[in-house]
Amino acid sequence: MIRWTLALACVAGALIALIDIDTPLRVVLTPLFMIVVPAAGISGLLRDRDPVESLAVGVAASLVINVLLAQAMLVFSSWSPRAGVATIAVLGGFMYVLQVLYRGAAVMRAEQGAKTR
């Protein structure tokens, strides 16, 4: 239940930023999206590790990703909240694809290990 609520809040934050809706919720939901999406993606890639360590690494990496994105936008004089949200969304999608491929490879290894015995 909490995962779906958080996912819905993140989607709402991204849509609010991309469509440029002027609402007081923008202040809360858009930064929530910017922090949660990379953190969830990286934590998902570290699924077989300790959950607390995975969450800590995910949040730290999320902050690093956001700071590097902001620095790159400032260096290239292309500051745009929409572009930042879109970049984080694409990065989150890429990490999701990596998770799916990683799980598929793990399932294949498990099946091959079962066949050899």
Hey, how many other C-beta atoms are within 10 angstroms of the C-beta on 107? 10
Burial class (CB in 10 A: 0-12, 13-18, 19+), 17: buried
Task: Read off the tokens for 35.
Answer: 């922090």
CA 65 to chain centre: 10
Task: Read off the tokens for 97.
Answer: 């694809």
Q: What percent of the chain clears pLDDT 70, i.e. is strictly above it?
A: 89
Its pTM stands at 0.83
pLDDT digits (tens, 9 = 90+) for 62-91: 999 999 999 999 999 999 999 999 999 999
